[in-house]
Amino acid sequence: MTTPAIDLSVTLGRLRLKNPVLVASGTFGYAREMERIVDCARLGGILPKTITALPRIGNAPRRPRRSATEHCRSAA
């Protein structure tokens, strides 16, 4: 006996996704790097860089931070 599939589809405005699992560019790379880990066909969607209808200020560029010994410790 097989278990019936559960409908996980969601609707966001006019967009219908087969499930609510979304990944975003930046954290997910370009998707090609993740293909060996994640079956991209099973995802609800991949979010590319976002755009807005009106201009807005973006994120400040990253700046290296140095410690007292002048080694780069992190980027902010």
Sign of the C-alpha dihedral computed for residues 8, 11, 41 and 24 taken in this order: negative
Average pLDDT of the residues in 1-28? 89
Residue 19 to residues 8, 27, 33, 75, 76, Cα–Cα distance (Å): 5, 19, 22, 35, 34
d(CA 48, CA 28): 10
Confidence class for position 69, pLDDT limits 50, 70, 90: low
In this prediction the pTM is: 0.56
**What does the pLDDT read at residue 15?**
93
**What does the pLDDT read at residue 71?**
54
Confidence class for position 11, pLDDT limits 50, 70, 90: very high
